[in-house]
Amino acid sequence: MTLGINLALIKTACIAGVVLLLSGCATAIKPPADDGSSPSPSASSSLQSLRLSDIKAAPASETGVSRVAPPGKSSTKRPAGAINAPTGLADKSLPLVDIPVQQPLPQAIDLTSDTEDLFQRIRNGFAMPDINSDLVLYHQQWYMNRPDYLRRMVERSSLYLFHIVNELDKRGMPMELALLPMVESAYNPMAYSRSKASGLWQFIPSTGKRYNLDQDWWKDERRDIVASTSAALDYLQSIYEMHGDWQLALASYNWGEGAVGRAISKNAAQGLPTDYMSLTMPGETKNYVPKLQALKNIFSNPATMAELGLAKIPNRPYFGTVTKMANIDVKLAAKLAEMPVQEFVALNPSHNRPVIKSDTPLVLPADKVETFISNAEAHESSNKPLSIWQTYTMRIGDKLEKIATKFGMTLAKLKEVNGIFGKAKAKPGLPLLVPGQKGGEPLDMAALPEQPQVAAQAPAEPAPSAAASQTHTVRKGETLPAIAKRYGNSVAELKRANHLRGDKLSAGQRLAVSVPSQKQAKGDSKVAKGDAPAAKQAKPGKASPKTVRYTIRRGDTLTSIAKHFKVDTDDLLRWNRVSPATLKPGKTLTIQLAQNP
């Protein structure tokens, strides 16, 4: 009896051991999953602790795994790697235990990996929180309904975008900012606004001076691709550090950090939220971030870009720089680089004159740098000058007619080269470009950047230095015109510099004012007399862009109007803040002729 019981226990133990052995073999022999992942360790360890009572036959429909068929019978469903049970266990059919395989984790995006598509690199660097609003949808639809406009922007940006993306990358700034010039200037470095903002990043004169962008007779660095980008990113970083929020930083870039600060304080005092969407702002600033978000939405989607026909931009440098130690003519520089003048100007748009001053970096396509260096060395070795022009400073008693005759030029050409238009008078101290001793060649001025116009009250200094900036604290009873007169500013300049919407001031308020140097103050003391003299100054010399008004007639189209006035259709829409659908007979358009001769 005892012997029978012992034999029964031994038999039971042997069967349990065989079951565990078979199950382990099935697991070991089962091929790996298609994705190359291995079985979960936790599942294997739990299998080893199974008791014989836990293992019982179950229908395949319940377990998801087919049973091992007895000898002579085939299983209806047999997983790969399953093993037949030994013949002795045919009457004890046992199920296979299927160990679940852990799914692989999604692959993370390596932001440091190289990509051939610059827009993909930009997408990888998006870091600003998204906003969803009706304004975003409106602007997104507006852009998508104008694929030609988007294509032109992308085409213009292809010259400058890699440089901007690279600078953002170095500073660890969000890549959304690479799209900001699309909002500011449509990536046109010659863009010029009514508030005298200029360049890709649309710096007004005072902010440009604050960030060391030279604005003189020779050049305006607000239009310089490298200098203005560095200044813009410096400015954006500083206002981000002020607010700790990129959307508020962008609002400050558009409206002014002081104005945004006051709007935040006003909301905080009323217990209201102080985020961008909650502030009370002017219409332009309210639409500013939604425009950028709309562009982000479009450029985030490669399929949308393909549908709109937006070209990819290679993720490699487009240009390099070369610095010459002597003045060089724009036309000659383009010739030495073996490229069209207009393309050279597109990369070097900051120069006001047809001559580039010495020690100024020349921006050239990356594949033209070696060509330029080689041709320049050959040119100089043959003792040929790099510039056919020289500078002549007007003296007391000089007349433009006599100067033109003296240097073998026509009066019209002398004025054209030096940006003297209308009834503007050239005063003593004004520098003029005149042909060198060997005589000047005719210039194709249409191939050069827009030349700045000389106002009737020209500065006395040949190259006026940037005015110093300081702060004025408003005293009780002071008015804006009085402060403007005191510092030789116009009321309009003070308003722009301080983002003032009206003339009201409060005691203790701090204003940024520009103070001319002592020499400038002497020459301009009779000019700086508030708004009225400033207006007189602008009128005869046409210092501001010449504008005309045109009333749309029946049969007119946007293209025909733009062609008639020799302007771009995009500029017409931007100046008048309209869409083509709203252009109807009887509507009056403002057109800036001076900026688009």
Nearest to 336 by CA among 381, 383, 369: 369
Among 155, 176, 184, 450, the active-site one is 184
Cα torsion angle, 231, 237, 240, 245, sign: positive
**CA pair distance 365, 450, nearest whole angstrom:** 22
Continuous H helices in 322-399 = 330-336, 341-347, 369-381
Neighbours of 318 (CB within 10 A): 18
One-letter identity of residue 509: Q
Backbone torsions φ then ψ of 356, nearest 5 degrees: -100, 125
Residue by residue, DSSP assigns 236-296 as: HHHHHHHHS-HHHHHHHHHH-HHHHHHHHHHHHHTT---SGGGS---HHHHHHHHHHHHHH
HEC-encoded secondary structure of 12-65: HHHHHHHHHHHHHHHHHHCCCCCCCCCCCHHHHHHHHCCCHHHCCCCCHHHHCC
Residue by residue, DSSP assigns 412-453 as: HHHHHHTT--TT----TT-EEEEE-TT-PPP--GGGSPPPPP
Three-state SS at 365: strand
Residue 176 among the catalytic residues: no
Give the residues across from 356 on adjacent strands: 328
**CA pair distance 410, 143, nearest whole angstrom:** 47
**CA pair distance 161, 317, nearest whole angstrom:** 9
The residue behind tokens 């902010």 is 207
Residues 6+ apart with CB under 8 A from 478: 505, 507
Residues with active-site annotation = 184
